[in-house]
């Protein structure tokens, strides 16, 4: 688990550095244009997963023949990725020639190079989904890290050199290609018995109920930026996307702990170990909130100060969106744990229903909160702040729905100790507000000091509540055992795991 945490923290740190340089060097319009194009292509690409990724993890977790599984999934992924490219190009042609849309030369470059990145990323999942199913964490995290390790330095070099948007796009493409090469190299070292696939029907049977799930999830995750770009401006996209991207780093740190939850839950369901599922879920929920709430506290109580310190003065309005997006972080992360339970229980249709519910609510909220008017009807016109509020509402509705479902499936209740974590965060927030009154948060160095202060106060309050105990410290120390992590990595890469 420490390996996942280190990988995620390092990846997040690199992503954070890249985000700071992009917002400061590109400005609101160019950054917003990139965010809008990436959101649009991600949403289109999501229609071509069709649930086969989850099917691949599921079948390997069940002990099916590894060579047959990989051969089947590789052929499926090649076909789906090819279809994605064709459909995306057709969509762009229709949008320009029939729907009256237009793309500048810079926008064309953005779309084409991001399309290349998405193709390489899709093909890399043949390896990463296999490693996730095999619970080979070191290989998974290596592939995950390669992209930011190469991309961020290249992005910084491009921006400092004055290459602007084109340089950023080239950096993204080079990093995606490197991650693809590494993932394929690691996969072929598995000594796979490649042969004619025979599990297509088995994959299809599991994937059919999940076919719309990735698309629904991706559209739901990107509809905010697509709507802002369509109804407001690139600047509005930038003011929403910048804090959302920053908070995605926080979410990544928490959800990295749940990376292996799905295969664990799958095995427990096969063994009828329902009590184990409940216990693992509660432990994951508790450790996730314990780790991320201090970060969430800072961005919720001082959102504008954090945005200015990280993105620059031009992004000060983004603080309005930061607060609501920050509030939504905790239920978002808890949802990932419980969603793994549902799929592992062979109830993919429930996941689809929940995702459809979230998409419908999110879409309605976006259309109500973002535009000033719609079809002649007056709307709230709250722009990027409205997008954040709509996002928060949909996340909480989904949270309630998922809790009801897993209670019916496994009688898993919400860990009530989490309320003490939230209370600790609120108390800590009051302290940092007082600190900000005396010593205003200005600049990155000041943000770092505030972060240390927030963590210290939060830990003290948690100790007072008797929620940070010796066993928690022992767990964290064990999780951060460098010697154990190094041995695990060496064994895994030598296929001794």
Domains of the chain: which residue ranges?
A: 51-210, 216-466
Instruction: Give CA 335 to chain center in angstroms.
Output: 12
pLDDT tens readout for residues 254-266 = 666 666 566 677 7
Distance from C-alpha of 434 to C-alpha of 99, rounded to nearest angstrom: 54
Contact 155, 22 (CB under 8 A): yes
Distance from C-alpha of 480 to C-alpha of 2, rounded to nearest angstrom: 5
pLDDT at position 487, please? 53
Distance from C-alpha of 450 to C-alpha of 432, rounded to nearest angstrom: 7
Q: Which two tokens stand for residue 173?
A: 């493409």
Query: Which is nearest to 298 in space by CA: 315, 282, 319?
Result: 319
pLDDT at position 99, please? 61
Residues 6+ apart with CB under 8 A from 375: none
Confidence of residue 220 (pLDDT cuts 50, 70, 90): confident
**Looking at per-residue confidence, does 309 or 193 come out higher?**
309
Distance from C-alpha of 88 to C-alpha of 70, rounded to nearest angstrom: 26
Mean pLDDT of 125-139: 80
Distance from C-alpha of 191 to C-alpha of 187, rounded to nearest angstrom: 8
pLDDT at position 5, please? 58
Q: Which two tokens stand for residue 279?
A: 């216990």
Query: Which is nearest to 395 in space by CA: 363, 423, 362?
Result: 362
pLDDT tens readout for residues 449-485 = 999 999 999 999 999 988 877 776 666 665 555 555 4
pLDDT at position 203, please? 82
pLDDT at position 489, please? 47
Classify the C-alpha dihedral 288-290-294-299 as positive or negative. positive
Nearest-10 crossing angle of helices 66-97, 52-61: 170
Distance from C-alpha of 369 to C-alpha of 236, rounded to nearest angstrom: 13
User: What is the 8-class DSSP label of residue 412?
Assistant: P
DSSP string covering 164-212, please?
HHHHHHHHHHHHHHHHHHHHHHHHHTT---------HHHHHHHHGGGTT
């Amino acid at each position: 688990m420490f390996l996942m945490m280190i990988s995620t923290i390092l990846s997040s740190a690199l992503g954070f550095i890249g985000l700071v340089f992009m917002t400061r060097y590109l400005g609101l319009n160019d950054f917003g244009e990139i965010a809008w194009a990436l959101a649009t292509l991600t949403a289109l690409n999501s229609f071509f997963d069709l649930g086969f990724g989850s099917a691949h993890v599921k079948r390997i977790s069940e002990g099916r023949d590894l060579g047959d599984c990989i051969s089947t999934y590789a052929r499926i992924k090649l076909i789906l990725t090819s279809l994605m490219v064709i459909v995306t190009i057709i969509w762009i042609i229709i949008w320009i020639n029939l729907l009256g849309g237009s793309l500048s030369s810079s926008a064309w470059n953005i779309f084409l190079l991001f399309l290349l990145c998405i193709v390489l990323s899709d093909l890399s999942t043949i390896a990463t989904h296999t490693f996730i199913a095999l619970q080979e964490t070191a290989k998974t995290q290596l592939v995950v890290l390669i992209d930011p390790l190469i991309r961020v330095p290249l992005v910084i070099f491009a921006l400092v050199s004055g290459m602007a948007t084109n340089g950023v796009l080239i950096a993204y493409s080079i990093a995606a290609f490197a991650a693809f090469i590494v993932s394929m190299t690691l996969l072929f070292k598995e000594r796979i018995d490649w042969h004619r696939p025979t599990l297509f029907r088995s994959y299809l049977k599991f994937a059919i109920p999940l076919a719309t799930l990735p698309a629904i999830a991706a559209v739901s995750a990107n509809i905010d930026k697509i709507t802002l770009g369509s109804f407001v401006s690139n600047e509005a996209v930038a003011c929403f996307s910048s804090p959302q991207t920053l908070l995605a780093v926080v979410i990544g740190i928490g959800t990295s702990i749940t990376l292996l939850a799905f295969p664990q839950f799958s095995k427990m369901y096969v063994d009828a170990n329902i009590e184990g599922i409940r216990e693992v879920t509660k432990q994951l929920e508790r450790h996730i909130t314990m780790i991320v709430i201090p970060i969430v506290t800072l961005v919720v109580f001082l959102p504008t100060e954090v945005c200015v310190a990280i993105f620059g003065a031009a992004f000060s309005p983004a603080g309005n969106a930061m607060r609501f997006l920050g509030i939504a972080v905790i239920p978002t992360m808890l949802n990932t744990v419980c969603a793994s339970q549902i799929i592992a229980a062979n109830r993919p249709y429930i996941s689809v229903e929940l995702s459809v519910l979230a998409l419908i609510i999110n879409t309605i909220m976006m259309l109500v909160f973002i535009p000033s008017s719609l079809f002649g009807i007056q709307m709230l016109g709250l722009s990027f702040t409205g997008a954040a509020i709509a996002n928060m509402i949909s996340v909480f509705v989904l949270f309630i729905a998922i809790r009801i479902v897993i209670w019916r499936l496994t009688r898993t209740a919400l860990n009530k100790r989490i309320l003490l974590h939230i209370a600790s965060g609120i108390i800590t927030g009051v302290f940092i507000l007082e600190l900000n009154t005396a010593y205003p948060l200005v600049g990155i160095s000041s943000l770092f000091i505030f972060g240390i202060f927030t963590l210290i106060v939060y830990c003290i309050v948690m100790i007072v509540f008797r929620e940070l105990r010796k066993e928690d410290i022992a767990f964290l120390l064990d999780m951060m055992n460098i010697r154990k992590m190094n041995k695990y990595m060496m064994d895994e890469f030598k296929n001794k795991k």
